[in-house]
């Protein structure tokens, strides 16, 4: 898909701040610094619309982007960042719980994991959280540019097993560097929007 109109709408914490649920939305969840914001930027061909950082913990609220008049991308703050206080973690947990359990127009969650590593306990928990709340999801394994092609199957199967997925086809290899998987990601989104 060629995207022309993208608008940053709001950094939301509470439901009253969420935009009107008049179009579907797609949420990006994943560990801090895994590449969620870069994923959004890659899909919409912008270098810096969603703020990225080599420092983890950059995104702290639910950042809403409207893509044409089609859907919202929601950049969800990353988890697993050790250097935040217990209070911050609890606030973050409450915000996510509220969001994922109540948002009526949430059409898909993209669970972003690092292609290089075995998914962490936090990744597994996030996947189970989606299962629990009945949120449809797809796993995006990003930073494939860091792994030789000959090793890809090994990494895919590791992610598949560790997350206890139903099928290995629930994982899309992706790279913001090489744009690997960009077209396929749009196909997944399009299919969800087409209902
Ligand atoms: P938080 O907002 O802190 O949760 O991080 P994030 O998940 O939004 O990560 P972000 O997109 O800011 O990327 C973190 C770092 O990883 C940046 O330095 C990116 O340039 C880098 N990065 C993201 N995607 C890729 C990728 O596909 N390949 C490589 N090599 N680097 C990437
Ligand atoms: Mg981010």
- Can you give the residue ranges of every domain in the chain? 6-194
Alpha carbon 73 to its chain's center: 9
In angstroms, how far apart are the furthest CA atoms of the chain? 48
Task: Please choose from 32, 39, 52, 115 the residue to mutate so as to test ligand 1's pocket, defined by most ligand atoms within 8 A of CB.
Answer: 52
Both structure tokens of 154: 């090994």
Q: Which of 75-84, 106-115, 177-186 is least confident?
A: 75-84
Task: Compute CA distances 72 → 16, 43, 62, 65, 66, whole Å.
Answer: 16, 13, 11, 5, 4
Which candidate, 182, 140, 145, 187, places its Cα nearest to that of 41? Answer: 182
Q: Which atom in ligand 1 lies closest to the alpha carbon of residue 55?
A: 3
Whether the pLDDT of residue 47 is over 80: the answer is no
- In contact, 115 and 95? CB cutoff 8 Å: no
Q: Residue 53: pLDDT band by 50, 70, 90 thresholds? A: low
Q: What is the pLDDT of residue 77?
A: 83
ipTM greater than 0.95? yes
User: Is the CB of 171 inside a 6 Å radius of any atom of ligand 1?
Assistant: no
- Ligand 2 centroid, distance to 34 Cα (angstroms): 8
User: Is the CB of 54 inside a 6 Å radius of any atom of ligand 1?
Assistant: yes
User: Is the CB of 42 inside a 6 Å radius of any atom of ligand 1?
Assistant: no
User: Is the CB of 63 inside a 6 Å radius of any atom of ligand 1?
Assistant: no
* Span 33-54, average pLDDT: 82
User: Domain 6-194 is classified in which CATH homologous superfamily?
Assistant: P-loop containing nucleotide triphosphate hydrolases (3.40.50.300)
User: Is the CB of 41 inside a 6 Å radius of any atom of ligand 1?
Assistant: no
Whether the pLDDT of residue 58 is over 60: the answer is no
CA 18, 19, 21 angle in degrees (round to 5)?
105
Q: Which of 33-37, 137-141, 154-158 is least confident?
A: 33-37
- Ligand 2 centroid, distance to 50 Cα (angstroms): 7
- In contact, 191 and 110? CB cutoff 8 Å: no
pTM: 0.93
Task: Please choose from 27, 28, 34, 38 the residue to mutate so as to test ligand 1's pocket, defined by most ligand atoms within 8 A of CB.
Answer: 38
User: Is the CB of 122 inside a 6 Å radius of any atom of ligand 1?
Assistant: no
Residue 14 burial class via C-beta count within 10 angstroms: exposed 0-12, middle 13-18, buried 19 and up = exposed
- Which has the higher per-residue pLDDT, 182 or 55? 182
Both structure tokens of 41: 């930027």
Both structure tokens of 187: 């196909």
> Which residues are 81's β-sheet partners?
none
* Span 102-125, average pLDDT: 96
Residue 84 burial class via C-beta count within 10 angstroms: exposed 0-12, middle 13-18, buried 19 and up = middle
Q: Residue 4: pLDDT band by 50, 70, 90 thresholds? A: confident
């Amino acid at each position: 898909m060629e995207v022309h109109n993208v608008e940053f709408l709001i950094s939301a914490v509470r439901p009253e701040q969420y935009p009107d649920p008049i179009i579907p939305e797609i949420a990006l969840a994943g560990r801090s610094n895994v590449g969620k914001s870069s994923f959004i930027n890659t899909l919409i061909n912008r270098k810096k619309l969603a703020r990225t950082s080599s420092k983890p913990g950059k995104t702290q609220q639910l950042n809403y982007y409207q893509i044409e008049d089609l859907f919202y991308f929601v950049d969800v703050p990353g988890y697993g960042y050790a250097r935040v206080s217990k209070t911050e973690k609890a606030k973050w947990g409450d915000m996510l719980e509220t969001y994922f359990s109540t948002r009526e127009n949430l059409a898909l969650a993209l669970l972003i994991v690092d292609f290089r590593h075995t998914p962490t306990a936090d990744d597994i928990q996030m996947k189970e959280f989606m299962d629990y709340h009945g949120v449809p999801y797809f796993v995006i394994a990003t930073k494939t540019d860091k792994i030789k092609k000959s090793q890809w199957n090994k990494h895919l199967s590791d992610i598949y097993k560790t997350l206890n997925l139903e099928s290995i086809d629930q994982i899309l290899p992706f790279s913001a560097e090489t744009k690997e998987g960009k077209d396929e990601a749009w196909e997944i989104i399009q299919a969800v929007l087409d209902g």
